[in-house]
Structure 1
Amino acid sequence: MFTTRRTWRCALAVLGTAAVIASTPAPALAASSSPWIAYNGTSVNNARVPASTIDMTTRSPKAFDTVTYVVSGKVVSATAKAAQLADGDWAATTSVDLSGFAGRISLTAKMVSGKSSSSVAKSLRVVDPSTNLGSGNGATVDRPTRTARAQYSDGRPNAFTTGLRGGAPARSQTGDLTITADGTVIDGVLINGCLVVKASNVTIRNSKVVCNRKGRQLAINVADGAKNLVIEDSEIDATGTDVGIGWGNYTLRRVNLHGSADGARWGTNVTIEDSWIHDMSREDSLHSDAMQTTSGANVVIRHNTLDPSNNGDPLNSAIMIGTETGQQSLKNVLIEKNFLGGGSYTVNIRSDANISGLVVKGNTFDDNSRYGAIVAPTGKDIVFTGNVLGWTGAAVTIDPR
């Protein structure tokens, strides 16, 4: 299903209700019409369950004596005896050891009744036991100087390695700003307004843009004809806007971008590196991505932390890729060495995308999406290599469209 908002709004990826790993007591289960497996009172079918030892219950309207759980031919539980419940169902609960598993698996409950046996199999997703939906941990943090902050970083761009170089900007300006002079340099300025760049070779560093304008399309608008905009060591607070920055001919380095529905929209000639794009907002009729493209060329997305999640809502994707506008193609794009998380799928590539030369390599995925790390069409000019789950180091599974 697709939706539009303004002529540039692109496809809405499928969303669903987030499954939450809970440790609260399991609620009472309703009588069943067919055998099923439950974890924490909820069916495990297509659910997220932790990679640890957990209690699971098999229920059936037909009598059975015992149940044992199996994954890929390996027995992962002790045999548990069944008992009849007050509602007439038969049920058995036992501990199932899923430690060591990751990603999608098929779990089979083998039920024995006398000399006969039957089974029920369910597909589920085994996830990091410590994962939480929404990995953003705050928007603005006063950052130490560059020489003193290495101790705060685990290798991924975060609040201590992106944004202002320490302390508040020395100067401030209130009101929207339009830059028209080529070669303009803005250094150490708090801009309480939205920004339009109509000139080339503009540099913005050690500054903060606060564009909290509900319904505004772009917090930073790189206008047609402007080239070589560079924003570095800066923060973009785009809360309330549709998009943090767009569309082409810009570079972000060590930028902390947050609050908008879409973080960075990119088209042609874009480089985003060592930046943190996070805590996107959910807006009516919009989906929310840390970054998105609807066509483009000559793009490098390198060593960023990208996660749209906000307050337990994983939102749409860290990277959403399509080619439904403009030149309707994507050429020469490299996405490498990023830390990616959140979304229904963390990386979501449309089935109708016209792609020539997309490389997705060496990225590390958090396990806090709804459905999986990557969904992508087959038969396209896309190279996936070296992408891993951060908590296990296992290779990322690509779900086909």
Structure 2
Amino acid sequence: MAGGIYDGCSFPGSVVIAAAGITISRSYIDGGHVEGAGYDLRGVRLVDVEISGGTDNFAAIGNSNYSCLRCDIHGGLRGLALGSNVVVTDSYVHDQRIVPGAHQTAASTHGGAHVRIEHSTLRCNSDRYACSNGVSFYSEDPPGIDDMLITRSHISTDAGYCLGFFSLQPGKPYGITNTRIVDNVLGASEYGPVANWPASQAGNVWSGNTTPGGTPINP
């Protein structure tokens, strides 16, 4: 896809971002995902876009240099792949494709920085057992995970934890730093709201997170 504004479009299959300066608005991506060369989406802006995922093994959007405003993402293997320089606002990720044992998430990172998710709903639900967590932080790619914010969002899953953090351990040897989880509602889950919150690592903030009934959650 070349640079420019694509408004009111219907895209069959996947969309490949091949240039900077692209905005996709009021559009439908049917049976695919949004990707870029080498995981770089070149600053693409997705506004009022619905993505109905297909049968491939990719996240609906990934990995770096994109923004998503009022996106509705469903039906694929995974939701948002979070690399670096990502902004997600007022968006809804839900109802992934049923793939038993697939380790699905509504959003996940394996390493990256400068990610902001605000006022969104992130739900992992498929066959009851395929989700790893609602949102997973796997610090396995160098230099690790840094400067990430999730705020004023609703996170839930039908398996695993709402939020799972995995760092400084075999296979995930890097740190998780300057990660803020603030003023969220952590809903339904199999095991609980959070696993392995890295409280001792620099700059991490857990504040104002509650159950749907308003009970404070302390990791």
CA contact (8 A) 2:104 2:133 kept: yes
**TM-score normalised by L of structure 2:** 0.89
Task: Give how far 1:355 is off.
Answer: 1.6
Mapped partners of 2:130, 2:103: distance in 1: 11
Q: Which residue does 1:274 correspond to in 2?
A: 90
1:365/1:314 Cα in 2 relative to 1: closer, same or farther (>3 Å)?
farther
CA contact (8 A) 1:230 1:250 kept: yes
Identity rate of aligned residues, in percent? Answer: 25
Q: Which residue does 2:9 correspond to in 1?
A: 189
1:88-123: CA deviation from partner (whole Å, max 9, x where unpaired): xxxxxxxxxxxxxxxxxxxxxxxxxxxxxxxxxxxx
Mapped partners of 1:372, 1:309: distance in 2: 15
- Pairs within 5 Å for 1:2-401: 179=1, 181-182=2-3, 184-212=4-32, 219-224=33-38, 226-242=41-57, 243-283=59-99, 286-310=102-126, 312=128, 315-325=131-141, 327-342=142-157, 343-352=159-168, 353-366=174-187, 368-376=188-196, 377-381=198-202, 382-391=204-213, 393-398=214-219
1:8-43: CA deviation from partner (whole Å, max 9, x where unpaired): xxxxxxxxxxxxxxxxxxxxxxxxxxxxxxxxxxxx
CA contact (8 A) 2:24 2:47 kept: yes
Task: Give how far 1:378 is off.
Answer: 4.3
Task: Give how far 1:315 is off.
Answer: 2.1
CA contact (8 A) 1:282 1:288 kept: no
- Equivalences, count: 209
User: Between Structure 1 and Structure 2, whose CA radius of gyration is higher?
Assistant: 1
Mapped partners of 2:140, 2:22: distance in 1: 29
Mapped partners of 1:312, 1:292: distance in 2: 18
Q: Secondary structure at the match of 1:234?
A: strand
Amino acid at match of 2:6: I
Mapped partners of 2:163, 2:60: distance in 1: 19
1:386/1:221 Cα in 2 relative to 1: closer, same or farther (>3 Å)?
same
Amino acid at match of 2:119: H
Mapped partners of 1:278, 1:312: distance in 2: 13
1:219-275: CA deviation from partner (whole Å, max 9, x where unpaired): 211224542100010100113232111010000000000112210101110001100
1:330/1:312 Cα in 2 relative to 1: closer, same or farther (>3 Å)?
closer
CA contact (8 A) 1:239 1:258 kept: no
Mapped partners of 2:63, 2:27: distance in 1: 20
1:112-147: CA deviation from partner (whole Å, max 9, x where unpaired): xxxxxxxxxxxxxxxxxxxxxxxxxxxxxxxxxxxx
Q: Secondary structure at the match of 2:86?
A: strand
Q: Secondary structure at the match of 1:231?
A: strand
**TM-score normalised by L of structure 1:** 0.50
Q: Secondary structure at the match of 1:249?
A: strand
CA contact (8 A) 2:99 2:127 kept: no
Root-mean-square deviation (Å): 1.8
Q: Which residue does 1:136 correspond to in 2?
A: none
CA contact (8 A) 2:100 2:129 kept: no
**Runs of 4+ off more than 6 Å:** none
Task: Give how far 1:318 is off.
Answer: 1.5
Mapped partners of 1:283, 1:314: distance in 2: 7
Task: Give how far 1:328 is off.
Answer: 3.3
Unmatched tracts of structure 2, length 5 or more = 169-173
Q: Which residue does 1:150 correspond to in 2?
A: none
